[in-house]
Amino acid sequence: MIPNMSFEITRREFIIQNGKLGMANFLSNPILWSNNPILRFGLVTDSHYADREPMGTRFYRGAVDKMSEFVNVMNKEKVDFVVHLGDFKDEGRNRDPAETLQFSRKLEEVYARFNGPRFHCVGNHDVDSIVKTQFLDNIENTGIPNGRSYYSFEILGYHFIVLDANFNVDGTDHFFLEGDNWQNPNLTRKQLEWLKTDLQKTQKPSIVFCHHPLFKYERNGKRYHINEHIETQKILENSNKVQAVFQGHVHEEHLEEINNIQYITQNAMVDFQGIENNSFSIVDLHLNSIYLNGYKRARKQNISIGQDRGF
C-alpha cells in the first residue's frame, strides 16, 4: 500500500481525473516506488450465484459465503477498489426472470459491503434470463452513470477500462433466453471506436477488464474469445499504454503474453464446494510488475510488465 503521507487525499476518493495524482508524482518520490505497490485492487470472477442444486463442479448457492469472504478480506486488506469480471449470477432451472433478478440483488447486497469503489464486467450468464438493462439496473459501478456496460475510470495514476462483449454482430444485446449464441461474443464497431478514443485521451498506464478473453481461447470444441480479438489487440498495442488485460469466463487460470501485453484469466469462484475452495486475488500494481496474490485455489504469481512500453 502507499504510505499514508500528507499529500495523499484519501484512498477512497477514487476517481482521480485531470491528472491530480499522476505517474510523475510517483516517479519523483523514491519512497513511493520502492517495494510498495502503487495501488492494489481485489479481483474475482464467475460467482454464478443462484438458488439451485449443484451441477458438475458448480456449487451455485455457495457463492454468497464465498463472496462474503472475498469482501471481508478486501476490507481487511484495504484495497483501493474491487472488480468482478462477470457471470455475477446465474439462473434457476425454470429460467424465471423475476427469480433471476433476486439472485443478482442478493449477491450485490454482499458485494456492496466492500468499503470502497466496486465495479462489474457483464458476463454471458448475466444476460441469460434477464436483459442487460435489468442486470445493470440492479448492480452498481461506483461513479459510473447507470446503464453503462463499458466504461473507464482512473485511480491513483492508472487508467482502467471495462469492456462488454455481450453483443451480436449487428450491435444488439445478447439475451440468451431468446436463443442468442454464447459462442458469438462481439465488442461491436461502436465500442471499438470508443475504446480507441478512450485510450487516445489518457496519458496514464492502462489496465483492461473484460469477461471474455481478448485472445484466442478454445477448449473441447468451444470458443470463448471475442470475434474481434485480433483487432482489439492491435488497438491496445497501438496505444502504447496498456500493460495487462484481466478476463474470466474460462473458469481456469491462464497467462499469455502477446506483444508485451499480459492477458490473464482467473479461476471461477463458483467451482467446488465450500469456502475452503474459494478463489480470488489481490492485484498489486508496481511500475514494472504485477503481483497476483491469490487466495486458496488462486495461485500467487509475479508478472513482468511495461519493459518496452515506456513506463
Strand intervals (E) in 98-187: 118-120, 151-155, 158-162
Which H helix or E strand runs over 110?
Answer: helix 97-111
Radius of gyration of the chain from its Cα atoms, rounded to whole angstroms: 18
What integer pLDDT is reported at residue 179 of this predicted model?
A: 82
What integer pLDDT is reported at residue 180 of this predicted model?
A: 80
Could you report the per-residue pLDDT of 173-228, keeping only the tens digit for each? 999 888 888 889 999 999 999 999 999 999 999 999 999 999 999 999 999 999 99
Of 17-21, 42-46, 165-169, which range is least confident?
17-21
Which residues, listed in sequence order, are joined to residue 90 by a DSSP beta bridge? Answer: none
**Phi and psi for 26 in degrees, rounded to 5?**
-75, -40
Of 7-11, 90-94, 100-104, 153-157, which range is least confident?
7-11
Q: Are 198 and 242 in contact (CB under 8 A)?
A: no
Q: Which three cell numbers stand for residue 268?
A: 471461477
Using alpha carbons, select from 286, 281, 285, 287 the residue that is nearest to residue 300. Answer: 281
Could you report the per-residue pLDDT of 140-159, keeping only the tens digit for each? 999 999 999 999 999 999 99
- Residue 308 CA to residue 179 CA, distance in Å, equals 44
SS3 call for 64: helix
Mean pLDDT, range 77-82, rounded to an integer = 98
Output the CA–CA distances (angstroms, integers) from residue 170 to 41, 166, 174, 185, 190, in the order listed: 35, 12, 11, 11, 11
What integer pLDDT is reported at residue 271 of this predicted model?
A: 98
The edge-to-edge listing of strands for the beta sheet with 81-84 is 118-120, 81-84, 39-44, 279-285, 289-296, 301-304
State pTM to two decimals: 0.88
What integer pLDDT is reported at residue 157 of this predicted model?
A: 93
197: left (phi over 0), alpha (psi -120 to 50) or beta: alpha
What integer pLDDT is reported at residue 9 of this predicted model?
A: 27
b/e map of 47-59 (b: 16 or more CB within 10 Å)?
A: bbbbebeeeeebb
The single-letter code of the amino acid at 237 is E
pLDDT at position 279 over 90? yes
Output the CA–CA distances (angstroms, integers) from residue 40 to 84, 282, 292, in the order listed: 15, 7, 10
